Structure 1
Amino acid sequence: MANDTPMFVIENLHASIDDKEILRGVNLTINKGEVHALMGPNGSGKSTLAYVLAGHPSYEVTEGSILFNGEDILEKEPDERARDGIFLAFQYPTVIPGVSMANFLRMAVTNVRSARSAAANDGGAQKLAPREFRRLMREKMALLKMDDAFATRYLNEGFSGGEKKRAEILQMALLEPTMAILDETDSGLDIDALRVVSDGVNALAGPEMGILLITHYQRLLNHIKPHHVHIMMSGRIVQSGGPELAMELEAKGYEQLRAEVAAD
């Protein structure tokens, strides 16, 4: 479980796209070692929040702050945030024809390690030899029950929904972030694939990592147990609680909850 030092703090976050406000004052604190689930109906702003946290250039933050390890990251580019230790698993991963999984991952791991080493002033990261990288990659692929041949395929090209999700979690395993944002990781997964991906996330979670798990459904939370659950509606977090809140939502549905929130 987490210590008392806030690692990731979102305060009064407002964000727009094409002059349309989507986030309307989001507040959320995630400590090291915590898993937070963010639930809500379609159009509530969940994926927008994920993109804004990762630094997507299409979104404009008009108010508020995002503190990561005490530093406001709003002025940082997406690659800087990634090197700092923020990871976003996309709901719809990008297809990159002509670039193999292995080459993409080796480049990403090398860049992130070099940046972290420079930030730590430890004299520079030792270059990851091809053989050592292949060993590390196979180790993480085995965790996700991925065939070795997967590494030679072009990134997300022709991947099934389950394969795309496994590829995202493989990136997470190799990049070793301290803050992971998983945007609807359960989308498009059958029962077996859901279990494999969930087991992978659980194996990677630890006392130094915070996880924000964005989902519509309780079924993912049966496999990845959150410490806190938040409900998002109309660009704000309207209710927070423990794991029981997800069960309550499953029983009531969003419409009843929306009516209760409006009545308060």
Structure 2
Amino acid sequence: MWDDETAEHYDTISAEKFAPEVLGPTVDLLARLAGSGAALEFAIGTGRVGIPLAARGVPVTGIELSASMAARLRRKVDEATLPVVVGDMATTAVPGEFSLVFLVWNSISNLRTQAEQVACFRNAARHLAPGGRFVVELWVPPLRRLPPGQSAVPIRTDDRHLVLDTYDLATQRCTSHHYWHEADGTVRHGSGEFRYIWPAECDLMAQLAGLEPESRFADWDGSPFTTDSESHVSVWRKPPRATDQRPATC
């Protein structure tokens, strides 16, 4: 689905995610977590987050499956400013160690099997320096809104954009159906398939990758994650080397 046409319109149809009140807290938290180290973004897309993070002085490298999306990013910044490797986030390796690896806006769900998602966690861990952090932003599936016998949940219903998500509870598969009402009166349809992951399942994937849970928020602003939260920003840490751990003092 991430072809030339999608890449060309991606920034426009995702305009709300570029709003300062959305993007600002995202970059603020990621910059704090990166500290003085470098960051690696899986599924960097057109650079919505990676470019402003690099502008903060954090060295950023990206991995992106879609050559079309990567080409769109390249119109904004050059290779020296933000290098990007075209490849999948479950297996692609880039040189160096990073203090931060991150995935935003549900991107890990583009991996449509549990095995691929586990491999993504392991790939993140391989790229992290000891003490480094892996951050994932992900939605919580709204399955409580599904009555018996119903498989679709309305996600967005404004005048220009309708989104319906259909769920297969047996396989944890989700298909997002998007309908855009164009200015000329026509309706454009697009869909994408995903595999949803529960927060506790993410924690188990992190454990399999040798990562330890550090924090979980409802959003990038640090608001508490609760039973009613519709999304989460989760942080796991790669344990520091034994030599990096200072003994306790009296």
Scaled to the shorter chain, the TM-score interval is 0.3 to 0.5
Higher relative contact order (CA 8 A, sep 6+): 1
